[in-house]
Amino acid sequence: MTTKLPRATHEGRVTIGKWALHAFNLDNGIRLFDQPSFEAVLGFRAGEAAPKSLEKIATHPIMRSNPLATSANIFTRPIVFIAIGGKRSQGFDSEELITICRLLLKARELGILRTTQGLRYAQAAESLVVSLANVGLSALIDEATGFQRDRDRDALKALLDKYLKKELAAWAKRFPDEFYRQMFRLKGWEWRGMSINRPQVVGTYTRNIVYERLAPGIVDELERRNPKDERGERKGRHHQLLTDDIGHPALAQHLYAVLALMRIAPNWRKFKSLLQSAFPLKGDQLELGIDD
């Protein structure tokens, strides 16, 4: 049975010091450099038996018990993948590059490196480590390949999928009557019970107080999945899209906290201030959303 090769989803050039390394993100989550880039940054020259040199360092009596020694066999296990253009290629996990650098620097520290070639490798490793100081290698690759934008979008989608169902669930009461009683009290409106139609602006207030503060991006996704029709009506309530394991517990917890703020606030203006302190929105959405 043929093993399916991973495929590159993004690629780009990562500049580290004097090197421009060809980097890839694979569909299995691995970030790697192609083999020429990997060898060049370690100071390997054409025709050199670099893998054998690393193996010799790793098997030295002083080094072979060190956990870093196992990284020396990386060249015997390249990662074969399909590049974006469809070409079969190979490279090495970016994290392995740092491990090899540590191996070479440790070998130099222990006095194992005695040849000009070995010392050159260690010097290249030191230059690379210095160039990477305070810079995350994964972040560099993700930025260079454009994967960062997709990663952030995918992360938001994964978050929303935890909170929201694909289809509307059966209706169940989720907002306690007190939520609306307190809103009417704070606004100075006459409360005539749940059976009386509430002002349309109550929906705007609820959107801002609850859904805009429940999770990042959740309002836009709710309105995409539960849009208004030509009459301005929705198929169901937004909370019918919340998942049972994440969405509904999060809604309940948020409502309990909001009710606590409502109970202690003497008026709408004070409640807005408390709400913004406890569950802040960026910019001026609060003022635009629930002011008169």
Q: Tens of pLDDT along 25-49?
A: 998 889 999 988 888 888 888 777 7
Predicted local distance difference test score (pLDDT) of residue 292: 47
Pairing of strands 31-34, 88-93: antiparallel
Among 39, 73, 46, residue whose Cα is nearest residue 57: 73
d(C-alpha 122, C-alpha 100), whole Å: 10
Closest CA to 271 of 252, 253, 258, 289: 258
pTM here? 0.47
Closest CA to 92 of 77, 106, 104: 77
pLDDT tens-digit series, residues 231-265: 777 776 776 767 777 777 778 888 888 888 999 99
Q: Concatenated DSSP letters for 156-184?
A: HHHHHHHHB-SSPPPP---S-HHHHHHHH
Instruction: Name beta bridge partners: 114.
Output: none
Q: What's the rounded Cα separation, in Å, for the pair 202 and 45?
A: 71
pLDDT of res. 74: 80
Res. 104: pLDDT tops 90: no
Token reading at 124 = 């290249």
User: Residue 129 above 70 pLDDT?
Assistant: yes
* Distance (Å, whole) CA 195 – CA 46: 83
